Amino acid sequence: MRIVTEISRFCGIVVGLGLLFSWLGVYDTGDAPFFRRFVFWTATMAVGAGSSVFVAPFVWSERFEHWPAPFKIAVVAIAVSFPVTVVLFLFNGGPYSVNHVIIQFVYVLIISLIISTGMYVAHIFEEAKASAGESADNPLETFMERLPVKYRTAELHAVASEDHYLRVYTSLGEEMILMRLADAVRELSQADGLQVHRSWWVAKQGVQEEKRVDGRSLLVLPSGIEVPVSRSFRAKAKEAGLIR
């Protein structure tokens, strides 16, 4: 259902932007029949949105969390503008002079910046709304609701980042969900656990023991999974009593 929701949202954004740009007649397309404008702009938006699906999660991943938001928005907009510009030339044809290509790219970049900024603002509002709706009495409840029904009554042991997904370890097994680790850590901030590595968050109840290998600390989950404790999180893990 989550995948269906994401696909529906993607299609809704593409069609909505296609209708808006067709109605406005952007890029002097106002003289063309509306259906032709709609096909042209919907295809263009599909290419742009499809490109952002691959680019945005990478740029907004944990490895670049120290980058300021405006810079990330600009990087995504620039990356998306290249394939969109190519589509515009394929539909409209020449001229292909250097100046004309640069001018077209700048126009596309401006629109991409506006759309990327709008998507970022919408994401911030969604996060704020989700945070406002979280249960203060049981900070795990909202997070566990993201899992399939059979896992929702389980004990949460750990969460690990894998590309654009999270692998959630519970007393009833493990499951993958579409979510950033930074968002999960924020959602679980009031839970009895902590982040111990760039890619790991652990619940205290999920740690059976500490292992030492070559001077490094590893936290062992009930399933036998070993969670590394990085140097930058070592002090907090020690304060929580997870390592010696």
Per-residue pLDDT tens over the stretch 34-48: 888 888 888 888 888
Residue 88 · residue 29 · CB < 8 Å? no
pLDDT (average), residues 129-133: 62
Tokens for 159? 């969460």
- Are residue 33 and residue 98 in the same domain, yes or no? yes
- pLDDT value, residue 5: 66
Q: 72, 97, 132 — which closes off a domain?
A: 132
Q: How confident is the model at residue 135 (pLDDT cuts 50, 70, 90)?
A: very low
User: Is pLDDT larger for residue 61 or for residue 162?
Assistant: 162
User: Is pLDDT larger for residue 2 or for residue 160?
Assistant: 160
Say if 233 falls within a structural domain: yes
- Are residue 128 and residue 98 in the same domain, yes or no? yes
- Are residue 51 and residue 27 in the same domain, yes or no? yes
Q: 97, 132, 167 — which closes off a domain?
A: 132
Say if 25 falls within a structural domain: yes
Handedness of CA 65, 184, 169, 200 (dihedral sign): positive
Tokens for 1? 């259902």
Residue 152 · residue 144 · CB < 8 Å? yes
- Are residue 163 and residue 90 in the same domain, yes or no? no
Residue 168 has phi, psi (to 5 degrees) of -100, 120
Q: Which residue is listed with tokens 């070592």?
A: 234
- pLDDT value, residue 2: 53
- Are residue 124 and residue 6 in the same domain, yes or no? yes
- Are residue 56 and residue 172 in the same domain, yes or no? no
Q: 98, 115, 132 — which closes off a domain?
A: 132
Say if 92 falls within a structural domain: yes
Number of domains in the chain: 2
Share of the chain above pLDDT 70, in %: 89
- Are residue 110 and residue 165 in the same domain, yes or no? no
pLDDT of residue 71 exceeding 50, the answer is yes
Q: Tell me the CATH number at 188.
A: 2.40.50.1020
**SS3 of 230, please?**
coil
Burial of 209 (0-12, 13-18, 19+ CB in 10 A): exposed
pLDDT of residue 4 exceeding 90, the answer is no
Say if 22 falls within a structural domain: yes
CA angle 196, 160, 168 (to 5 degrees): 125
User: Is pLDDT larger for residue 94 or for residue 113?
Assistant: 113
CA angle 112, 78, 101 (to 5 degrees): 90
Residue 176 · residue 166 · CB < 8 Å? yes
- pLDDT value, residue 177: 93
- Are residue 105 and residue 46 in the same domain, yes or no? yes
pLDDT of residue 138 exceeding 70, the answer is no
Structural domain boundaries enclosing 23: 2-132
Say if 217 falls within a structural domain: yes
Residue 201 · residue 195 · CB < 8 Å? yes
- Are residue 146 and residue 195 in the same domain, yes or no? yes
Say if 244 falls within a structural domain: no
Q: How confident is the model at residue 170 (pLDDT cuts 50, 70, 90)?
A: very high
Say if 52 falls within a structural domain: yes
Beta bridge partners of 220: 209, 226
Residue 196 has phi, psi (to 5 degrees) of -120, -5
Share of the chain above pLDDT 90, in %: 36
- Are residue 15 and residue 63 in the same domain, yes or no? yes
Per DSSP, the residues of 112-178 read HHHHHHHHHHHHHHHHHHHHHTS-SS-HHHHHHTTS-GGGTTSPEEEEEEETTEEEEEETTEEEEEE
Say if 36 falls within a structural domain: yes
pLDDT (average), residues 5-28: 76
The pLDDT tens digits for 206-233 are 999 999 888 889 999 999 999 999 999 9
- Are residue 71 and residue 159 in the same domain, yes or no? no
- Are residue 8 and residue 121 in the same domain, yes or no? yes
* 0.75 exceeded by pTM: no
